[in-house]
Structure 1
C-alpha cells in the first residue's frame, strides 16, 4: 500500500520536473538511475531514499524541503486527505497555466496577477 507521504513527495517531484521542462529520462540521467525508477517515485510506488532525494533536489535546483511542502506535521491519514483534496497541481491544465504564467516577463506578470485578483473579487 502506498504511504500518503510517498505519494505527496512523488507528486512534488513530478510537479518540479514538469515546471522546469525536464523529462523523466533527463532527470534519471542527471541522478544516475533508469527513468522507470523516476516513474515509480512519481507515483509513490517506490519510496525515495534520503540520498536519492538529495540527488533529485540538486538536479532540479530546489531544497529538499520543497518536496515536503504542503504536508506540515500531519499524520498519515491527515496527509492523505490534504493530498487528495488540495492538490490542484495534479491537474495538467493548472500546471500548464502556472508554467505559462512564469514564462511571462515579470512586469507583465504583475499586471496579469492584479487583473486576475480584480476579476476574482468581482465573481
Structure 2
C-alpha cells in the first residue's frame, strides 16, 4: 500500500494536466474553485496530486476547463504506449514541462495569436537556429 507521503503518479499527472489547462486559459485557482464550489486550497491539492480527484469531480473540472476527460490522462505513466515501450512516449513530458512554465505558456499563447502562417514558420526557423547556435557554444 502506498504511503500518504508519496502521491500516486497518476494522481500527480492528472493534477499537472489540470494545472496546465487552467493556466492555458489564464484561470486562477480561486476562479476554478469557485466554479466547482470548492476552495483554491483543494485545487492546489489536486494539482499537486496530494488529493485524488474523484470521477464526478474530474468530469466537472473537464466541463469548466472545456476539455474532454481524456485530456487529463494524455501521456500518463503506465499508459499502453509507455507499457509497449514506444521510444517517443518519454519525450512527451517535455511538452507538459514547457507549457507549465511561465515562459512556455506566454510564448504559446502569443504564438497562437499570430494569424500569418509564414510569420509563424519564420519564428519556428528563428528559434531552431538560435537553439542550434546555443548547442554549438
User: So what's the TM-score if we normalise by structure 2?
Assistant: 0.72
Cα distance in 2 between the residues matched to 1:111 and 1:7: 38
Cα distance in 1 between the residues matched to 2:20 and 2:119: 23
Find the counterpart in structure 2 of residue 106 from structure 1: 115
Cα distance in 1 between the residues matched to 2:75 and 2:22: 17
Find the counterpart in structure 1 of residue 12 from structure 2: 7
TM-aligned CA deviation for residue 121 of structure 1: 6.0
Based on CA coordinates, which of the two structures has the bigger radius of gyration?
2
- Residue among 40, 43, 50 paired with 1:35: 40
Cα distance in 1 between the residues matched to 2:90 and 2:54: 23
Cα distance in 1 between the residues matched to 2:33 and 2:22: 11
Query: Unmatched 5+ residue regions in structure 1?
Result: 76-80
- Residue among 87, 93, 109 paired with 2:103: 93
TM-aligned CA deviation for residue 48 of structure 1: 0.8
Aligned residues: 115
Q: Looking at both structures, which has the greater relative contact order when contacts are Cα pairs under 8 Å and sequence separation is at least 6?
A: 1
Q: 1:34 to 1:95 in 2, by over 3 A?
A: same
**2:111, 2:120 within 8 Å by CA — same for their partners in 1?**
no
User: So what's the TM-score if we normalise by structure 1?
Assistant: 0.79
Q: Which has the higher helix share?
A: 1
